[in-house]
A and B are shown apart, each in its own frame.
Chain A
Amino acid sequence: MKTLATMLGAAALFLTSGSAAIGARSDLVLGVVLEPPHLDPTAGAAAAIDEIVYANVFEGLTRIGPNGEVQPALAERWEVSQDGLTYTFHLREGVTFHDGTAFDAQDVKFSLDRARAEDSTNAQKGLFSAIETVEVVDPATVKVTLGHPQGSFLYNMGWGDAVIVAPESAPTNKEKPVGTGPFRFDNWARGSSVTISRYENYWGEPVTLETAEFRFIPDAAASVAALLSGDVHAFPNLQAGDALPQIEADPRFTVMIGATEGETILAINNGKAPFDNLKVRQAIAHALDREEIILGASAGNGVPIGSHFSPANEAYIDLTDTYAHDPEKAKALLAEAGLANGFSATLKLPPPAYARQGGEIVASQLRQVGIELEIIPVEWAQWLEQVFTNKDYDLTIVSHTEPNDINIYARDDYYFNYDNPAFDAVMDELETTSDPEKRKTLYQTAQRIIAEDAVNGFLFQLPKTGVWDARLEGLWENAPIQANDLTKVRWTE
């Protein structure tokens, strides 16, 4: 009798759980392009790491919200001293890591000190460069003192590279990440997927999803096919290309074309003749037809840009008319530069479709004004070595996806080989300015300087083509940082 009752009970349980699964799904398969090299965001620059763990597994003192704004995270609130040098963070209480250990101020000190240490492998040590000391005031309070005021400090603390880790698990986070987020790491099937599941002891509002699988599909064709066949529920950033109209027409899917921080540029080696001549760079700028490039390289999705700045940013100004498409003027400028018969150069292209396809169009457009380009496809590894590190290139096409990264034009020895003291001065001033209005004006001045100097060919802002099952909600429309925040995602039916 008793066994029968147990069996009936089990059957009932089975039935209810079955119907619950039909009522509201709680699993999610999300397609991402690249498999991360490992899963520790504090020890690698790969965006693929943040795309899985940011806000899901790991949290920092602050976090970046869906529209790029700074929000409180592990720090509930904070005070900034008058001189802008001292930040006092008040931490949330009752927070635990996924291995059960408690989170407190010691973990914050450990994480920040580890990130800025001499032998640190943190890929963004610059985020912490202003920090002078980190002190534990009490278990729930941390005082961070800066060497100089830094307008972007709270934003910096929201990066994936600045998340808080525990001393016990830090060494093994690469393979088995342990954080404080609403999801805990489950499994990593190499070459295939990473699975995370709901962490029951999460300090904040619990997430609706029970499990989420990030499946790695680098191939554009395979991802479109996986979406259409229902294998994958959502692609936060689908390389749909020309298949997009078909997907948009399909009522099963929601398509959201948002903005990323990815400025796609035709980078020019400003240190190499003839590109050191402003007239030659202006000629290139006049030769480019952005509309055609966007149509061919990104299936018509993407916002044309005239400088290195995201149109989603409130300090953005439209500078696309600085050097409008005008092949005749381009030829005239080349003649003025003493190159009436044109010249030839190389164009090194990394693997993404925007670069390879955009490159074919750029080459065709420059040929019309007399510049013959030899296309050299390179892998990322070679690109990093030849172009980025050794600056052995003439032209290249690449998307700069870091948020707010116009300051790279002030870096000495950066691969553009660009040097303009006036621009550097603007950046220096920006570093110590925290008044929002003043920062905005400075950003606009900076945009104008590099646009007028035609440092690079500014092409378009990479679109974020989010495509997901129409029954899903809560996925991000824009990508102010590289992350797939699943905390608000749920099935509506």
Chain B
Amino acid sequence: MSLDSTFTPVPERHVLAKALANRSFLVGLVITGLVAAMALVSFFWTPYDITRLAVAERMQGLSLAHPFGTDHMGRDILSMIMIGARNSIAVAIVAVGIGMGLGVPLGALAAARGGWADEALMRVNDVVFAFPALLTAVMITAIFGPGAVNAIIAIGIFNVPVFARVARAGALSLWPREFVLAARAAGKGAVLITVEHILPNIASLLLVQGTIQFALGILAEAGLSYLGLGAQPPMPSWGRMLFDAQTRMAVAPHLALFPGLAIVITVLGLNLLGDGLRDVLDPRIRRER
């Protein structure tokens, strides 16, 4: 909302040095890197095979063999969390991808064309924003059936107007600038200017917003999975693990502890990274969003 007036393109020097000096950025980067590494490792190795159920060994406490214990089907919780990270990351990345892929061109176009195209885009945005996001996601998964793919679509749809707004606001503030005016004077078309001059200059804005949406996407995926509308077994997901843990809280609270912590740590890491990026890339963008 407040981006338009304060936005300025990033000077490219000093960025790295500033990044390394920024605490939020560093901590966020380390946490995010660890979570990503955990997800990558799970493709090659997990402590146990989670597709083989061992019901007789269910709900064991913490031990050397199972550092986080076993779940209600006798699966190793550490292995579940490792593979669940894949699911969370994949859903959030693709949802952000959908939002960027559709939202950025729309927003940039609206800014370039102005007039009715701009007005129309903003009105469609209003309609999407007017829907209660979570309820709508529940409806979408009810129509198309629960599953990771439909969770991605449901989360992705609400990312489109977010990126459209950010891209439009960023682009609008650039159009009156000298270097853009010069390009226009040189006879370049709106599309070419957008690609050559506008997009590179709003990339940092989009990166910051992307990180924030990524974190929100992970929370949204956990919520949908918790309601049983996200990834389906045998694919583990953190939200679903919490759902399964809920009835067993009184007997085995550790079932709920670790998946919840996994979510908190991942989202925290991404938010710190986003905050840090914003400080590094443009100290003048206001901090609250």
Is there direct touching of A and B in the complex, by C-beta distance under 8 Å? yes
Which residues of the other chain, B, contact A174 by a CB distance below 8 angstroms? none
Contact B53 A242 (CB under 8 A): no
Segment with Cβ contacts to B, from A91-99, A220-228, A436-444: A220-228
Docked Cα-Cα span, A455 to B160, in Å, equals 50
Q: Type the 1/0 row for B38-55, where 1 means its CB is closer than 8 Å to any CB of A.
A: 000000000000011101
| Contacting pair B146 A377 (CB below 8 A) | yes
Closest partner residue, chain B, to A360 (CB atom): B233
User: Number of B residues whose C-beta is below 8 Å from A?
Assistant: 23
Task: Known A296-B55, A364-B52, A379-B142; judge A242-B232 contact (CB<8 A).
Answer: no
Chain B residue, CB-CB nearest to A363: B234
What are the residues of chain B within 8 A of A221 when measuring CB–CB? Answer: 246-247, 249
B197 in the interface (beta carbon within 8 A): no
| A361 beta carbon closer than 8 Å to chain B | yes
Q: How far is the CB of A237 from chain B (nearest CB, A)?
A: 15
Say whether A376 contacts B72, CB under 8 Å: no
A463 to chain B, nearest CB (A): 16
Given contacts A295-B55, A296-B58, A367-B51, contact A242 B252 (CB under 8 A): yes
B251 part of interface (Cβ distance < 8 Å):
yes
Asked if residues B56 and A242 are in contact (CB atoms below 8 Å), the reply is no
A375 touching B232, Cβ below 8 Å: yes
Q: Mark B219-253, 1 if CB is under 8 A from A, else 0.
A: 00000000010001110000000000011111110
Q: Which residues of chain A in 353-379 are interfacial with respect to chain B, using CB atoms and an 8 Å cutoff?
A: 353, 356-357, 359-361, 363-364, 367, 375-379
For the complex formed, measure the closest distance between the CB of B238 and the CB atoms of chain A, giving whole angstroms. 17
Point out the residues of chain A lying under 8 angstroms from B59, CB to CB. 242
User: Within 8 Å CB of B58, what residues of A?
Assistant: 242, 295-296
Note all chain B residues with C-beta closer than 8 A to A353.
Answer: 247
Q: Which residue of B lies closest to A364 (CB)?
A: B53
Task: Pick the most buried of B55, B58, B252: most chain A CB atoms within 10 A of its CB.
Answer: B55
> Do the beta carbons of A360 and B146 come within 8 Å of each other?
no
Tell me if B73 is interfacial: C-beta within 8 Å of chain A.
Answer: yes
User: Do the beta carbons of B247 and A241 come within 8 Å of each other?
Assistant: yes
CB of A243 closer than 8 Å to a CB of B: yes
- Within the complex, the shortest CB–CB distance from B230 to chain A, in Å, comes to 11
Q: Mark B17-57, 1 if CB is under 8 A from A, else 0.
A: 00000000000000000000000000000000001110110
Assess A377 versus B72: contact at CB under 8 Å? Given A224-B250, A242-B59: no
Cα A292 to Cα B53 with chains together (Å): 10
Say whether B249 contacts A360, CB under 8 Å: no
Pick from B51, B146, B228, B247: contact of A243, CB below 8 A: B247
Do B248 and A243 touch across chains, with their CB atoms under 8 A apart? yes
- What residue of chain B has the Cβ atom nearest to residue A297's Cβ? B55
- Decide: A245 and B251 in contact? CB cutoff 8 A: yes
CA–CA, A224 and B248, complex, Å: 9
A224 with B51: in contact, given A296-B72, A377-B228, A377-B232 (CB under 8 Å)?
A: no
Determine the distance from Cα of A367 to Cα of B250 in the docked complex, in whole angstroms: 32
Known: A292-B55, A296-B58, A367-B51. A360 touches B247 (CB 8 A): no
- A377 CA to B240 CA in the complex, in Å? 13
A 238-249 binary contact with B (CB < 8 Å = 1; else 0): 010111011000
- Of B51, B72, B145, B252, the residue contacting A357 (CB under 8 A) is B72
Q: Which residues of B contact A367 (CB under 8 A)?
A: 51
Chain A residue contacts of B146, Cβ below 8 A? 377
Tell me which of A228, A295, A361, A382 contacts B250 (CB under 8 A): A228
Q: How far is the CA of A357 from the CA of B52 in the complex (A)?
A: 14
Contact of B53 among A220, A361, A377 (CB under 8 A): A361
User: B73 and A361: CB pair below 8 A?
Assistant: yes
Least Cβ distance of A89 to chain B in Å? 47
**Mask for B249-284, Cβ within 8 A of A = 1, else 0?**
111100000000000000000000000000000000
Q: Which single member of B51, B73, B249, B251 contacts A296 (CB below 8 Å)?
A: B73
Nearest CB of A to B245, in Å:
9
Residues of A449-482 at the interface with B, using a CB-CB cut-off of 8 Å, are none
* Interface residue ranges of A39-72 to B (CB < 8 Å): none
Residues of A with C-beta under 8 A to B73? 296, 357, 360-361
Distance in angstroms from B184 CB to nearest chain A CB is 55
- Write the nearest CB–CB distance from A251 to chain B, whole angstroms: 16
Assembly CA distance A375 to B248 (angstroms): 23
- Which residues from 110 to 144 on chain B have a C-beta closer than 8 Å to any C-beta of chain A? 142
CA distance A377 to B52 in the complex (A): 20
C-alpha spacing A295/B73, complex, angstroms: 9
A92–B287 Cα gap in the complex (Å)?
Answer: 79
Contact of B56 with A292 in the complex, beta carbons under 8 Å: yes
CA distance A242 to B256 in the complex (A): 14
B-chain residues with CB within 8 Å of residue A239 when the two chains form the complex: 247
Q: How far is the CB of B154 from chain A (nearest CB, A)?
A: 16
Compute how far the CA of A296 lies from the CA of B59 in the bound complex, rounded to whole angstroms.
11
B255 to chain A, nearest CB (A): 9
Least Cβ distance of B288 to chain A in Å?
Answer: 36
Bound form: Cα–Cα A381–B73 in Å = 28
- In the complex, residue of chain A having the shortest beta-carbon distance to the beta carbon of B52: A364
Give, as a whole number of angstroms, the nearest-CB distance from B260 to chain A. 14
Q: Is the CB of A243 within 8 A of B142?
A: no
Task: Find chain A residues with CB under 8 A from B250 CB.
Answer: 224, 228, 243, 246
In whole angstroms, what is the CA distance A292 to B146 when docked? 27
* Complex Cα spacing A377 to B252, Å: 26
Tell whether A242 pairs with B228 under 8 Å between CB atoms, given A360-B234, A377-B146, A379-B142: no
Indicate whether A224 sits within 8 Å of B56 (C-beta atoms), given known contacts A242-B72, A296-B72, A363-B234: no
B145 and A378 contact, CB distance less than 8 A: yes
- Chain A contacts for B251, CB-based, 8 A: 242-243, 245-246
In the bound complex, residues from chain B placing their C-beta under 8 Å from that of A377 are 145-146, 228, 232
CB distance from B237 to the nearest CB of A (A): 13
Report B-chain residues with C-beta under 8 Å of the C-beta of A360.
Answer: 53, 73, 233-234
A242 pairs with B233, CB closer than 8 A: no
Query: Given the complex of chains A and B, what is the CA–CA distance between A353 and B248 in angstroms?
Result: 13
Known A-B contacts: A220-B246, A221-B247, A296-B55. Give 5 more (CB < 8 A).
Answer: A221-B249, A296-B58, A353-B247, A367-B51, A377-B145
26 A/B residue pairs, CB under 8 Å, sorted by A = A220-B246, A220-B247, A221-B249, A224-B247, A224-B250, A239-B247, A241-B248, A242-B59, A242-B251, A242-B252, A243-B247, A243-B250, A245-B251, A295-B55, A295-B58, A296-B53, A296-B58, A296-B73, A360-B73, A360-B234, A361-B73, A363-B234, A375-B232, A375-B234, A379-B142, A382-B145
A positions within 8 Å CB-CB of B:
220-221, 224, 228, 239, 241-243, 245-246, 292, 295-296, 351, 353, 356-357, 359-361, 363-364, 367, 375-379, 382
